[in-house]
Amino acid sequence: MTDSPRPVIRLDKVGRRFPGPPPVDALREATFSVEAREHVAIMGPSGSGKSTLLNLIGLLDTPTSGKYELDGADVAQLDEHTRTALRRDAIGFVFQDFYLMAGRSAWENVALAMVYTGVSAKQRMIRAKQALDRVGLDHRHDALPTTMSGGERQRVAIARALANQPQLLLCDEPTGNLDSATTEQVMALIADLNGEGMTVLTITHDPATAAWASRRLMISDGRIPA
Ligand code: ADP
Ligand code: MG
């Protein structure tokens, strides 16, 4: 973490057109910034372009127009090796469907996120268990995801996102599969992480989830009004 005055995320008229046919402009001239230590929610209905936007910000996809700067770097200028390293080390991802490996324990799921980072196997296990402790799963290190509640699974996914100590946490509908009580627990955890200095972007169509953010932006038909 730095206290750099420049934004962590800066989009200038960013667009994403899927070629089709017919072509779909999933994102149109999106212009906004997210400063370090902010928690910004992006809200919009299904099909409005939320996942497209998050995929671009998370370097899982590339804009077809406009300029995207991540921590001051023009992402279009980065080679694939640098993009991959940034995606792994600087960004943590949390998804609606958790994406845990069913046959692996909670700690193995977290440890696997560190496989390509040069950390020893022993250290990966220790750090994975520390990350699980951090999300309140100290008693569930060895549990299989299939034996866990939705809230527990999402906390494993958050622990995995934290494994490489990212500066930015990107959440795509993190509470989309959770009931309201569990939503509150998961968002309280994310708010805690933000309070400790993590920059967070949460994509959601749920007002109760968005209420946890310090700022909310709306997206509609691929547009984010200023
Ligand atoms: P949201 O996450 O808000 O539900 P998406 O970003 O998934 O919305 O989708 C926005 C629009 O882009 C939708 O019209 C969707 O059908 C379209 N879209 C998303 N991904 C693709 C793709 N790979 N190819 C073509 N169209 C896509
Ligand atoms: Mg989506």
Contact 34, 9 (CB under 8 A): yes
Q: Is residue 223 part of a domain?
A: no
Q: How many residues does the chain have?
A: 226
Q: Is residue 2 part of a domain?
A: no
Alpha helices by DSSP H, the chain: 50-57, 80-89, 106-112, 121-134, 150-162, 180-195, 207-210
d(CA 45, CA 185): 23
Q: Is residue 183 part of a domain?
A: yes
* Cβ contacts of 54 within 8 Å, gap of 6 or more: 42, 170, 172, 201, 203
Q: Is residue 226 part of a domain?
A: no
Helix (H) or strand (E) holding 147: none
Q: Domain of 194?
A: 7-218
Q: Please give the tally of structural domains in the chain.
A: 1
CA of 15 to the centre of ligand 2 (A): 16
pLDDT at site 3? 53
Q: Is residue 73 part of a domain?
A: yes
Question: Ligand 1 atom closest to Cα of 45?
Answer: 3
CA of 50 to the centre of ligand 2 (A): 5
The C-alpha angle with vertex 203 and arms to 174 and 104, in degrees rounded to 5, equals 30
Cβ of 120 closer than 6 Å to ligand 1, yes or no, is no
Contact 28, 222 (CB under 8 A): yes
pLDDT at site 5? 58
Nearest alpha carbon, ligand 1 atom 10: 49
Neighbours of ion ligand 2 (CB under 5 A): 50-51
Cβ of 46 closer than 6 Å to ligand 1, yes or no, is yes
Q: Is residue 1 part of a domain?
A: no
CATH code of the domain in which 47 resides: 3.40.50.300
Contact 213, 40 (CB under 8 A): yes
Walk along the chain (226 residues) in steps of 10 and give the mean pLDDT of each run: 70 96 96 96 95 96 96 92 91 94 96 88 95 96 97 96 94 95 95 95 96 96 90
Q: Is residue 224 part of a domain?
A: no
pLDDT at site 37? 95
CA of 47 to the centre of ligand 2 (A): 7
- Which pTM was predicted? 0.93
